[in-house]
A = this chain, B = another copy of it.
């Protein structure tokens, strides 16, 4: 879905996609596009974000022009998703809703979407809710992100995906599990959901990374100004230092 969104922009805008990674950098309207999700959680079907993995960074094109013009939500299309992938993708929704609700860059509409998406995620992963509920959660989470912003987890997970080639949902899970200091009770609930769904996370995933890789991850995290401002305020650099970032990565 992200590639489709990015492609629709690049068909009408000149140059390299890399120059549009960021916020509101796309100049011309994209081609008409319809999204048909076959995996639920990221909210890409509803959001402005088209996340791209570039040569030196993983970063999204965030523009009104990268949104789908129409989407088809049919939960029968996600029925065959393997259990672990379903869980990790679903947790992407859960996590970005937690991040947006606890951040400052949110309005009442986005709050309403995120609150409902959270309730749906919990119903799916704690009480056996069905794929209709999961698909609705993903859509509403995506709607929420249009008028809000992610936080500490996403700021750290992009680096992890880049160096370890982790899928986005899985990388978010690995990161969220060490964020008790920021999202306390929501992290506890996340662990309940892992347990209930019989899934677990690897430990020590950054142990074998070179110091160069670690520095690249630090640099990428420090590049995530908007999510970190949303989560920690304008003075986020005072708290989220190179040392603090390395400490968090080492815990994963």
Contacts and interface: CB of A to CB of B under 8 A. Distances in A.
A2 interface: no
List the number of copies, as a whole number.
2
A151 to B, nearest CB: 22
Interface in A129-176: 132-133, 135-136, 139-140
B120 A140 contact: no
Interface in A74-127: 75, 107-109, 112-113, 115-116, 120
A73 interface: yes
Contacts of A75: 108
Interface of A: 73, 75, 107-109, 112-113, 115-116, 120, 132-133, 135-136, 139-140
Contact of A133 (B73, B108, B133, B140): B108
Interface of A, secondary structure class, is: helix
A121 B177 CA distance: 35
List of 5 A-B pairs having minimum Cβ-Cβ separation, nearest first = A108-B132, A116-B116, A108-B136, A109-B136, A112-B116
Nearest to A117: B112
Given A73-B109, A116-B116, 10 more contacts: A107-B132, A108-B133, A108-B136, A109-B136, A109-B139, A112-B116, A112-B120, A112-B136, A112-B140, A115-B116
Contacts of A132: 107-108
